């Protein structure tokens, strides 16, 4: 579960904890749907942008990634050299991963355009019966 991972956003942690709480406390399914719709509306309005930050430790210098570049390394390369170590805080944006402190583009949400570098969950197709806000 992402609720115990360190490299997921606070929004993912909170939503998973809330869902478990709702399910184990027998919250009415209609109420759960309403709460999720409210969360999606707040997300689309930009009210939750601060909880969309990923945190990832840099186990090696970002320049050492030669075959592939994970998102935290891509974001770190946009930082000055002295800020490229330790924990990298980044946001998925419409232009790919960017450091939280130097973000130039809006976060990728369900209302922004998708690029091929967007996380896969933002490109999931809508299916019949899916939750809509």
Q: 84-119 pLDDT, tens per residue?
A: 888 899 999 888 899 998 887 778 764 444 444 444
Contact 127, 115 (CB under 8 A): no
83 and 101 together in one domain = yes
- Whether 37 and 20 map to the same domain: the answer is yes
- Domain carrying residue 32: 2-49
Let me know: does 35 contact 18? Beta carbons within 8 Å.
yes
Q: What contacts 24+ positions apart, CB below 8 Å, involve 26-31? A: none
Residues 58 and 9 in one domain: no
**Is 9 inside any structural domain?**
yes
Q: What are phi and psi of 23, to 5 degrees?
A: -65, -45
- pTM of the complete model: 0.69
60: CATH: 1.10.132.60
Give residue-wise pLDDT tens across range 28-38: 999 999 999 99
d(CA 24, CA 123): 30
Asked if residue 29 is part of any domain, the answer here is yes
As for how many domains the chain has, the answer is: 2
Q: Strand 87-93 and strand 53-57: pairing? A: antiparallel
- How much of the chain exceeds pLDDT 70, in percent? 77
* 82-94: burial string, b at 16+ Cβ within 10 Å, e else: eebeeebbbbbbb
Sequence-ordered list of residues with C-beta below 8 angstroms from that of 67, at least 6 positions apart, any chain: none
Q: Mean pLDDT score of the chain, rounded to an integer?
A: 80
């Amino acid at each position: 579960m992402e609720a115990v991972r360190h490299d997921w956003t606070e929004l993912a942690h909170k939503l998973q904890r809330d869902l478990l709480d709702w399910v184990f406390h027998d919250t009415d399914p209609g109420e759960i749907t309403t709460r999720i719709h409210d969360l999606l509306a707040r997300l689309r309005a930009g009210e939750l942008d601060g909880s969309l930050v990923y945190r990832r430790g840099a186990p090696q210098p970002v320049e050492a990634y030669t075959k592939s570049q994970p998102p935290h390394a891509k974001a770190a390369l946009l930082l000055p050299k002295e800020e490229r170590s330790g924990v990298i805080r980044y946001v998925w944006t419409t232009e790919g991963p960017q450091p939280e402190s130097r973000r130039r583009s809006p976060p990728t949400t369900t209302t922004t355009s998708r690029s091929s570098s967007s996380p896969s969950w933002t490109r999931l197709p809508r299916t019949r019966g899916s939750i809509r806000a």
